[in-house]
Amino acid sequence: MKLAFSKMHGLGNDFVIINNLELRHVFSADEISYLADRKFGIGCDQLLLIDPASDGVSDFFYRIYNSDGSIAGQCGNGARCFIRYVLERGLTDKTVIQLQTLGRVITGQRLADGEIEVDMGVPDFTPRALPFKHEPAIEYQLDFNGQTVQFAAL
């Protein structure tokens, strides 16, 4: 299969970006890890797919995969590259672009100086939002290396 892609960099991270709006290919973890492999593929930290939004609000679905093929929830540097890509390729004529992600809608825009700004929203560090299997509490205990450590999920 022929596959058009772009390679972009943002603050030390490199990304392969694929416009999947028409292709609509469902990439397997093996395909993603092959593309991300620096010796046999293109090589990247993350694969970013431009998919159609499904929430009825956003302009695009910003789909992010790590180099091992696993799904990533967010990446700010990737979001800036994603926004630049859709603007430079003329995929939208909007000045403020809304991106649907797995967890939330984020927005981005090109500033007057040409830089790309992304609003990632307010992070949610509540225990229910973190991959944490305990009920909400003020303090938790963890047995680690023969000692009991107390901590809080803030």
Tens of pLDDT along 121-139? 888 777 677 766 667 777 8
> Which pLDDT value is given to residue 137?
75
Q: What is the pLDDT of residue 68?
A: 96
**How confident is the model over 11-59, as pLDDT tens digits?**
889 999 999 999 999 999 999 999 999 999 999 999 999 999 999 999 9
Residue with the larger pLDDT of the pair 145 and 131: 145
**68-80 residue pLDDT tens:** 999 998 899 999 9
% of the chain with per-residue pLDDT over 70: 94
pLDDT at 154 > cutoff 70: no
Query: CA–CA distance from 77 to each of 3, 31, 99 (Å)?
Result: 23, 23, 14
- Structural domains of the chain ordered from first start: 6-122 (3.10.310.10), 124-154 (no CATH)
pLDDT at 105 over 70: yes
Is the pLDDT confidence value at 106 over 90? yes
Phi-psi region of 114 (alpha: psi -120 to 50; beta: other; left: phi over 0): left
Residue pair 60/100 in contact by the 8 Å Cβ criterion: yes
CB 110 within 8 A of CB 95: yes
- Does position 153 have pLDDT exceeding 70, yes or no? no
Quick one: pLDDT at residue 2? 85
Token pair of 123 as six digits:
């992070």
Query: When comparing pLDDT for 143 and 98, which is higher?
Result: 98
